Amino acid sequence: QKEVEQNSGPLSVPEGAIASLNCTYSDRGSQSFFWYRQYSGKSPELIMFTYSNGDKEDGRFTAQLNKASQYVSLLIRDSQPSDSATYLCAVIGDNFNKFYFGSGTKLNVKP
Amino acid sequence: GAVVSQHPSWVICKSGTSVKIECRSLDFQATTMFWYRQFPKQSLMLMATSNEGSKATYEQGVEKDKFLINHASLTLSTLTVTSAHPEDSSFYICSARVAVGSYEQYFGPGTRLTVT
């Protein structure tokens, strides 16, 4: 059973602060890790992905992967109210075909 | 690039009828498309993996005779919900793999199905 766990939140941060979203996964064979943002009533949109240990930065977003501890996190710097959404963590298993999604963390950025 | 469309965006149907949802990759060829279902405040649940020209692979617990998937071309996959019931009401989302060997997949905008 492949599991991807996320705290459902809501996580509330003030505008301009750093939002930190965490995700743990159970399958050590997981290869790639993705963060999606989903606004209410909309489909997910890809923010970034990573497959190497360490940090990967893209604009205000940083994905941090620690395979030994089996967690991946997403940092959002200078959080904006428009960042308020549910963030889904997804991993690809060792068959390289299926995505396994976490239940998502709801982020509220307060003006 | 990597745009995926779905049609219709929402549909209301009566119990017992069938509904077809289309998923198209607009600017790339998708050898693999995926169909997900999402209930309110829950995460995406993979229903099936669709490969062009072959039968879809269904996840455990998904009735293949109820959810018919056809991937007739490299840019089109369809999901038909047959004999729909109110419990089938959900948000159906497709995604397409960008390229062979790529792990990235991009999602369509989703179809909200309501069965009355």
Interface probe for B, chosen from A31, A39, A43, A96 (most Cβ of B below 10 Å), is A43
Kindly report, residue by residue over A35-74, the tens digit of the pLDDT: 999 999 899 998 998 988 899 999 999 999 999 999 999 9
Coil, strand or helix: which one is A48?
Answer: strand
B115 touches B85 (CB < 8 A): yes
Interface probe for A, chosen from B9, B33, B43 (most Cβ of A below 10 Å), is B43
CA distance A96 to chain B (A): 7
A1 pLDDT above the threshold of 60: no
Q: Which residues lie below 8 Å from residue B20, measured CB to CB, with a gap of 6+?
A: B78, B79, B80
pLDDT-derived band of residue B98, with 50, 70 and 90 as boundaries?
Answer: confident
pLDDT > 70 fraction of chain B, expressed in percent and rounded:
96
- Mean of all residue pLDDT scores within chain B: 91
CA distance A101 to chain B (A): 6
Coil, strand or helix: which one is A81?
Answer: helix
Residue A29 has what pLDDT?
Answer: 83
B115 pLDDT above the threshold of 90: yes
Q: Tell me the mean pLDDT in the region B36-64.
A: 89
Residue B1 has what pLDDT?
Answer: 64
Residue B68 has what pLDDT?
Answer: 95
CA distance B16 to chain A (A): 25
Distance CA B53, CA A106 (A): 39
Taking an 8 Å cut-off on Cβ atoms, the answer to whether B109 and A42 are in contact is yes
DSSP one-letter code for B85: -
Residue B29 has what pLDDT?
Answer: 87
Distance CA B107, CA B4 (A): 6
